[in-house]
Structure 1
């Protein structure tokens, strides 16, 4: 990351003045937006989240009422991932990202500076890169950062064992076991440990019902416990809460369809939501 940052407010990019009302369009011209930029381009930046690493755009922000869709509302497409808070918009014809409703500040849109009429973003010079890996919204739940870094971890096939999964078992009741046992609880325990939070050290999902403090309503990153097969049995599943709707709850966890991933479960199987003691 460069130490030379673009100024906070930019009113001239190369030979192009930034107008108080400036046009923005996709590559094919099917989508046209009108931006209110009375102070010019403010806080131009890059981001190193999984999305921005792939699209590589320089972005800046405006309030939600600072963007008007003048053309192409019918061809705009929307993409959401992870917490589904941020809404990413792109042209359904040429595929160019135009703007997004931000996760860290849902009252703002981020927009693609390279789509501003007459603007060559390379003429901005070096711009700062924001930390999108440890997102500002996740800084109170650092264990989620640890969990997301494990996405895609799977057991090995017969006759082999994934040492990454056996590492999740360290310090728990199944320390020394292979990757063929149920490991949702040890994964949660391991992720919390990476953030310096003590877990239950148990392989039983329902052990988390006696851990920490109960929450009346879930919050992103809390530990959510589900029942399996029978609500009155000892069996269960545990993971980190991501979101829910009227029918399903999405968890980020281990041993979810055999891997570390997000997965949706019936909302009526939730037994409880828990949070580390002293910080609820």
Structure 2
């Protein structure tokens, strides 16, 4: 059944819509999850921009994602250079795991975006704790919020086969980047791999915007994992296994 966002409706789907409108239309909406008059006007502006009737109602496809009818809610930002999933990921910076008892509700949302993986391996409990490695789930959540095809695996290593490959010479901001950490904690990842979105690079470094990355804190006891931009030395500390791009999106 398709979800619709209309004045007065509320929920995570409306919040996702608001974030997408902010990223693609600079709408300046508060992502409250409530379909307010300002959200309706932003939807109408987007509909007019892409040539749809400016009804102010937004229809989500049955498979999820951010599409209205057959027209994507812009998969790239206004300048055509920043993919929407990167903007969505940027808006998540600051989400962190909860230390000790309890789990971050937002991280659980990321994990649940790959529920099919956990069910396939009969490990539904993996979706119920933010102590589960969630970097791949964060990538998947951001991509599906932007209307891109979902991945099938919550393990970072397997994202080296997602979509289409990019050569190092054609890598670009937002590329799904799979790395193998030279000194990975086997208690966190058995493959030693990590996945995030390419946020920058230099001769011997890459920057990844991703989830399940260390959050700096002077107090070591309070350090946790969250959505951050982290720098990795290549090849000193990590090796790049793949740069990937959604097969349905022009690059």
Q: Which runs of 4+ in 1 moved over 2 A?
A: 134-140, 173-177, 228-231
| Structure 2 unmatched ranges of 5 or more | 1-25, 29-75, 119-123, 185-189, 215-224
Give me the whole-angstrom Cα distance separating, in 2, the residues matched to 1:208 and 1:263: 19
Counterpart in 2 of 1:223? 176
Higher helix share: 2
Post-superposition offset of 1:202: 1.5
Contact 2:179 2:195 in 1 (8 A): yes
Counterpart of 1:164 in 2: which secondary structure?
A: helix
- CA 1:138–1:194 in 2, change beyond 3 Å: closer, same or farther? farther
Structure whose CA Rg is larger:
1
Match of 1:187 in 2: 138
How many correspondences in the alignment?
149
Distance 2:199 2:98 in 1: 27
TM-score under structure 1 normalisation? 0.49
Alpha-carbon distance in 2 for matches of 1:158, 1:138: 42
Question: What is the match of residue 198 of structure 1?
Answer: 149
Once the two structures are superposed, residues 157-200 of structure 1 have per-residue CA deviations (whole angstroms, 9 ceiling, x without a partner) of 21111110000011412462311111110000000010011232
Q: TM-score, normalized by length of structure 2?
A: 0.54
User: In the superposition, relative to structure 1, how do residues 236 and 215 fare at CA in structure 2: closer, same or farther (>3 Å)?
Assistant: same
Q: Distance in 2 between matches of 1:186 and 1:249?
A: 21
Aligned to 2:78: 136
Structure 1 or 2: larger strand share?
1
| Unaligned runs of at least 5 residues, structure 1 | 1-46, 50-133
Alignment RMSD: 2.4
Post-superposition offset of 1:235 = 2.5
Q: How does 1:1-280 map to 2 (within 5 A)?
A: 136-137=78-79, 141-172=83-114, 173-174=117-118, 176-217=127-168, 218-229=171-182, 234-257=191-214, 258-268=225-235, 269-278=239-248, 279-280=250-251
Q: Report the 3-state secondary structure (helix = DSSP H, G, I; strand = E; otherwise coil) of the residue aligned with 2:109.
A: helix
- Higher RCO, 1 or 2 (CA under 8 Å, sep at least 6)? 2
Contact 2:77 2:83 in 1 (8 A): no
